[in-house]
Each structure stands twice: as C-alpha cells, then as structure tokens.
Structure 1
Amino acid sequence: MRIARIAGLVVTSLLIVSPAAASPASDDGPAVIAHRGSSGIAPENTTAAVRAAVRQRADVVEIDVQRTSDGRLVNFHDCTLERTTDVEERFPGRASYRVSDFTWAELRTLDAGSWFDERFAGEPIITLRDVIRQLGRTTGLLAEISPCGHYAGTGLPEQLAAELRSIPGDVDDALEDGRLGVQSFVVADAQAFQAAMPDVPIGLLDAERPTEAELLELSTWADQVNPQFTVTDQALVDRVHELGMEINVWTVDEPGAMRRMRDLGVDGIITDFPQSLTLRG
C-alpha cells in the first residue's frame, strides 16, 4: 500500500517503526485512520479513545496538536475547552478558555471524559508524548497541527518538528523510511513544518474540493491531499494519484460511504469508528 510511506509514528520504548507492516487492515484496503482515536465509542483524544483504536487494530491514530501557555504540546481538538471538559466549573470566571491560556498543570486537573459518558469520568487531557507511549508496535500516528487562529505565527509547526526529533530511538531510520505523517488545514503551517522537517510527508486538509490549479500547486511540495469525503470522487482520486500524491478522506462513519471510498481507491479512511473497517469479516 502507498499509505505505508506516510503512515505515522509508532513506538515501542519510543522506537519508531512502520505501522502498515503489522496491520492486516492495510493488506486489503485503505489504511484505517482512527479520528481522534476511536472517538465513536470513547471521548475524543483521550487515553480511552487511543487505546480503543489500538485494540480495534486501526493502522493509524489521528490526533490534534496544540500548545499550553507553558509550552507543552497536548492532544486536543477544539480551540477552547468548554465542549469536552469541566473547565468552566473548575476555573469559573476565566477571561479565556482557550487551551493556550492554561498551563499543563491546570489542564491536567480537567475531566475530559464525563461529557461523553459518565463511565469515562476523570479521563484527562493527554500530551503528544502520552499518545506516542500508548500506541505500541502496530499503530501509527498522524498529527494534525491545530488551525486555531491564535497559533498563527507562534512557531507551533516548528515546535512539533522539534518535539518529534527529540524522541529517543531510531529516529533517523524512521525518517529515512518516511514513517511520520503530519497534516494541516493551513497552508502556511504545513509549509512551515515541511521547512523544519522536510523528510516527513506533509498533507493538506481541505473541506472543499481542490481545484486543478490548487492540485498542481500542491503537487510541487505536498505529499498528501486530504479532503472531506463528501467532495471526493473518482476523478479527484485519480488526479491526486497522477500528480504523485496520496489521498486520505475524512470523516467517514457510514458503512455505505466507507465502501464507496474504498472502491474509489483512496489511500486512507479517517473515521470515528475504525472497528467498522478493521473488524470486518
């Protein structure tokens, strides 16, 4: 599968290895990419969701990278904390509830699980390194640079590159084999990460169908075009491949849509329910 070259970061004692080599899902269809972990059955971007995705044999776990006020890289999607944590109860009256306005010590006190189900009460926010430690030998990591506007120009892509470089283990071999995947909605952030870590394949997310001019421009520097599945058809998949790029579609949760995307020949399917693909048959 072509997806193997972008599949992500997999860790045993923080040693990076290829996820596609061990996962049966990659042998007979697109790579199965767990959206914020197995977020259909567990609170997104938590240990519970990551571990569920690993149990369900997802090829890759997709996460969202943000930064705390004291510089820690954490796994959290929304720009603010209200939807998926008890931040307003724990820190009433704060002027801002952006992730970037809280220290890591403060974020660690939040309950990021009860909003989903009381069974997950007390699930904490976790760091990028926490995710990496939980993935084991067979699951990759696709890291999305947060598109929240307040990070613009603050060096988040460069910090992500520095963090990945700092992981002990056989990083040089992993880079040579192309085992890391990073994506962004923001062209400037994708290009900044590429400049900081040019050997790592980079993908551009898009909610709209890219034009021919955009595809031609992307083909000069990007490795992946990752559109919303609703704008994806055979012509787009074929054109992306003709231009030497890969295509991962998001967020595909209905079985019929999964089958359609598989039949189009996409390289990866980003889904809240990875078990729908990995546990088939």
Structure 2
Amino acid sequence: MSGTTGTTERQATNQDAPTLIAHRGFAGVHPENTVAAFEQAATGLDVRPEMVEVDVMPTADGEVVAFHDFELGRVTDAPADLADRFVWETPYEKLTQLEVLGTGESIPRLADVLDALPPEVGVNVEFKNPGSTGVRPRENLPRDDRPAQRDLWLDFAERVVSTLADCENDVLVSSFAEGALAAVRAVDPSIPVAAVFAESVADGMEVARRYDCEAVHAPWNMISGTPLFNAEYGSLGPYEDVDLVETAHREGRTVNVWTVQSWYQAAQLRRAGVDGVIADYPGVLQFGDDAGLADD
C-alpha cells in the first residue's frame, strides 16, 4: 500500500487530463462491485482508469465485502426472506450464494478485488457502513458526538486497514461519514483519506480540514462556475456559491467529482480544474476539455 492519491502532483496547474476513477468498476458497463467488473475495468478495456472505486462493509462473521447498498435486494437475486436484510447481518457464505445482477458474479471480499487489480491501478476504498444503523453520514458532527461516531467505525477500520496492508496499489480511503475518517486516522494516519461531500461545501471543508484530508469528493453539481452548478441531481443541492476547486487546491487537497455520466459533464468539470472524475463509463474523458463546447 503506497499511500498516495495519485493526483496531488498536478493540483497547482491541472494541465493534464483528470484522473479517471472507475465507479464501482465502471458500473455503467459492468456488474457493479464484482471481481469481473474490476478485472475488466483495469485490464479489459481500451480506455483504462488510473484508479477504481470500491464500496465496502462487513458481513455478520467479520469479512469485508465489496457492496454498495445496505440491503441485498437491488443488485442480487436474494429470495424474499433475504432481500431486505442488511449485508452486515448476513454471513459471508450466504452472500457467496447470491448472484449479482444476473451475471453469474457473486459478492466478493475486498481481498478478492485487490487480488484482481494490477499494482499500477490505484484503489479508492469507500467506507459505506461498519455494521450499525447508528452511523451518521453526511454530517459535520458536533464536537461532543465525534468520539462515539469514531468508535462505531474502529473495528471495521482495523479490518480494512489489515486487508490493505500488503496491497501494492496506491490507496485512498473515502467516506460520507466523519466517523469513518476519524477511525482511519486513528488506526493508520499514513493512509490518505477523502471527505465525500453531499450537503454543504462549508461543512464538507470543515470535515476535510479536521482530518487533514488529502482529497475531497464532491457531486458534479457542486462545482461552481460551470453550467452544471446546482443542476438537478437527485436530492443533492442547491449549494452555496463557493469555488470548491480553488479553495481545496489552495489548501493542497485534490478534488475528485462523482458520479460523472457523460463526456459533457467531464468536459465542464475539466475546464473547472478538477483533479479526478469518478465515472460509470470509461469514455467520458475521450473528447477533451473544450470539445464541442461554446465559450461561456
């Protein structure tokens, strides 16, 4: 585990194309968070990412698995009695019997994902849940609440860090949950971390500063100065008009943006100076930063 984000060198000028980060292994073209997705993203495409993003949470018996949702129903063939069960309430052996999106792929362990990646491809490990309904993501926590939230994540953070110990890939840990970032810092301060923003630029930056995050991860409609700013994106926004890219770069933090779906979004974000795009599709950067765009 080399412990770098892979993009900090170009923060000052951002003259190169942004880092391409394969969201869940390019979930737009592959079955998300499966070994096959990560293998194909890393080695099977003409356009290959510099980093992949994988979501992690625990099983009932302590394994660390790659899975995004809390419940099993959306992406697996779980029977009715399992579809609404939380992943962390389910033993790993039971999870291996489920099929992801009708592809024949099963839910893998984080260790299996790492084994499938060549060492030159970085890995962004996003902490989704430590096995508790008591976590508080998307919050800038009050001081008195921070220790308890950190403690909820500590055991899980130790398991993930142990899994990453022999990893040769560049590693970045990210989370919406402040408690997860605090736990990773407590377990191994050398691992780069990223605060994932959702509710507020100001609150997100406070969390990033609190844990000296090497990176910040923002939704694409949070980047001011672009036509994307405060565009409709699910329930996200509207946001305060703060130049997040300039602010983060001034403080030495990389800005990666999620979840980019089109070349147009990627081109606008590149013009704004972001360092990375977390994308569902591999071709979003192929047309460059100015292709087909009128001057603002």
Normalising by the smaller structure, the TM-score range is 0.7 to 0.9
Equivalent pair of 1:209/1:227 in contact (CA under 8 Å): no
Q: Residues 112 and 128 (structure 1 numbering): CA distance in 2 closer, same or farther, change over 3 Å?
A: same
**d(CA) in 2 for partners of 1:94 and 1:123?**
18
| 2:221 is equivalent to residue 239 of structure 1 | no
Q: Residues 151 and 112 (structure 1 numbering): CA distance in 2 closer, same or farther, change over 3 Å?
A: farther
Give the aligned residue type for 1:248: N
| 2:31 is equivalent to residue 43 of structure 1 | yes
**d(CA) in 2 for partners of 1:64 and 1:254?**
22
| 2:197 is equivalent to residue 206 of structure 1 | yes
Give the aligned residue type for 1:139: V
Q: CA offsets, 1:210-255, max 9 Å, x none?
A: 11x6525522422111110111125210111001211110001111
**d(CA) in 2 for partners of 1:260 and 1:36?**
23
1:131 deviates by: 0.7
| 2:264 is equivalent to residue 256 of structure 1 | yes
| 2:115 is equivalent to residue 107 of structure 1 | no
**d(CA) in 2 for partners of 1:210 and 1:278?**
29
Q: Which is helix-richer, 1 or 2? A: 1
Superposed counterparts of 1:127-276, under 5 Å: 127-147=109-129, 149-150=132-133, 152=135, 153=152, 155-165=155-165, 167=166, 179-211=170-202, 214-216=204-206, 218-220=208-210, 221-234=212-225, 235-276=243-284
**d(CA) in 2 for partners of 1:233 and 1:72?**
40
**d(CA) in 2 for partners of 1:249 and 1:95?**
31
**d(CA) in 2 for partners of 1:27 and 1:241?**
14
2:106 pairs, out of 120, 124, 130, with 124
Equivalent pair of 1:65/1:144 in contact (CA under 8 Å): yes
**d(CA) in 2 for partners of 1:279 and 1:59?**
17
**d(CA) in 1 for partners of 2:162 and 2:134?**
16
1:34 deviates by: 0.4
Q: Residues 156 and 254 (structure 1 numbering): CA distance in 2 closer, same or farther, change over 3 Å?
A: same
| 2:54 is equivalent to residue 66 of structure 1 | no
Q: Residues 112 and 95 (structure 1 numbering): CA distance in 2 closer, same or farther, change over 3 Å?
A: closer
Counterpart secondary structure, 1:159: helix
Counterpart secondary structure, 1:63: strand
**d(CA) in 1 for partners of 2:95 and 2:72?**
9
Q: Extract unaligned runs of 5+ from structure 1.
A: 9-19, 21-25, 115-119
Which stretch shifts more, 192-201 or 216-225? 216-225
**d(CA) in 2 for partners of 1:105 and 1:216?**
41
**d(CA) in 2 for partners of 1:164 and 1:186?**
20
Superposed counterparts of 1:14-29, under 5 Å: 28-29=16-17
Q: Residues 35 and 105 (structure 1 numbering): CA distance in 2 closer, same or farther, change over 3 Å?
A: same
1:190 deviates by: 0.8
**d(CA) in 2 for partners of 1:111 and 1:256?**
34
| Counterpart in the other structure of 1:14 | none
**d(CA) in 2 for partners of 1:226 and 1:7?**
14
CA RMSD of aligned residues (A): 2.7
**d(CA) in 2 for partners of 1:222 and 1:63?**
19
Aligned length: 243
| 2:30 is equivalent to residue 31 of structure 1 | no
Q: CA offsets, 1:188-211, max 9 Å, x none?
A: 111111111100110010123411
1:94 deviates by: 4.7
**d(CA) in 1 for partners of 2:176 and 2:4?**
21
Relative CO higher for 1 or 2, CA cutoff 8 Å, sep ≥ 6? 1
| 2:65 is equivalent to residue 83 of structure 1 | no
Q: Extract unaligned runs of 5+ from structure 2.
A: 136-151, 226-242, 292-296
Give the aligned residue type for 1:61: V
